[in-house]
Chain A
Amino acid sequence: MFEAIAFYLFAFLTIAMFYIAVSTSQALYALSALAAGMIFISAFFFILGADFLGAVQIVVYSGAVMALYAFGMMFFDTTREVKEKQGNKAIIIGLSSLAALMVVVIVAAPIVGNNIEALYPMTEGAGNTQEVGMVLFTKYLVPFEVAAVMLLVAMIAGIVLAGKKMDLSLTLMSDSELMIMKEEDKKVNL
């Protein structure tokens, strides 16, 4: 009963938030709606008994990813709107529905075909975090390490890409210095 109420409530909230995130033209509204949607999604994980996944969802998405987007947005002029050229709406909606239907078929096909046997069944009397740890550090140890290396590579790439000229403060420089810097940039880019 409560599960059903919670499911429908959070389903409605998540869909509403993500709809706002894709339909609004303001980047700030989209960011806030997306952050709210991420938190609501973690509610599904808690309902489903995946406590650790829910906590990771909140920490990684609402904490790290949204903070990263917020910092990234400070580099841009978010008040200026990017012109959204409207294409053919029928084609877009048709393609999306088709792709979504394909996803359902792909997910449902093995379930309809034969009953799946649990590869790593849940252990009795262990909490979710404990189970996740036991499976992650035995069966999925190599993918775990590969993911760690990938995150390191991504971190270095982010620093290298975004960290250029971070030692210069654009607000403290005079206009003539800025002009000189811009022209140097143009020469380099040519």
Chain B
Amino acid sequence: MMEIGLNHYLVLSTILFAIGLVGVMRRKNLLMLFFATEILLNSVNISFAAISHYYGDLTGQMFAFFVIAIAASEVAVGLGLLIVWHKKHNNIDLDNMSSMRG
């Protein structure tokens, strides 16, 4: 119990991933959906860093860096699209974004 091993971090990462997944599924607000996506990416980063530490390998940390870079660019593009949508339709409700439905 007192010895923190790799499994502790993997379990924590899984819990956070589940929280983010619940957020992605139940949110109808596009901004909240972005928040949940950030949680997903962060939970994966924890497990990368933990594996990197417990195996003495730096590859995990490298992957975490690239995940952070991808998250940053996702936010920039996503928020830009969100602002354009809000200017055009005056809401950010996900249920209204069905114009591409066939």
Contact = CB atoms under 8 A, between A and B. Distances in A.
Contacts, number: 223
16 contacts: A27-B29, A37-B39, A50-B52, A57-B68, A61-B71, A69-B31, A82-B29, A82-B93, A92-B22, A107-B51, A119-B59, A122-B56, A122-B57, A154-B76, A158-B76, A161-B77
Interface of B is mostly: helix
B65 A56 contact: yes
A44 B46 contact: yes
Residue with the highest number of chain B CB atoms closer than 10 Å, among A103, A136, A139: A103
Contact of B73 (A18, A82, A150): A150
Contacts of B19: 15, 18-19, 22
A86 interface: yes
Interface in B1-28: 1-4, 6, 8-12, 14-23, 25-28
A92 B26 contact: yes
Interface string B78-97: 01111110111001110100
B101 to A, nearest CB: 17
Interface residues of A, number: 84
A178 interface: no
A85 B46 CA distance: 32
B34 A69 contact: yes
Interface of A is mostly: helix
Contacts of A97: 18
B73 to A, nearest CB: 3
Contact of A161 (B28, B57, B83, B93): B83
B31 A76 contact: yes
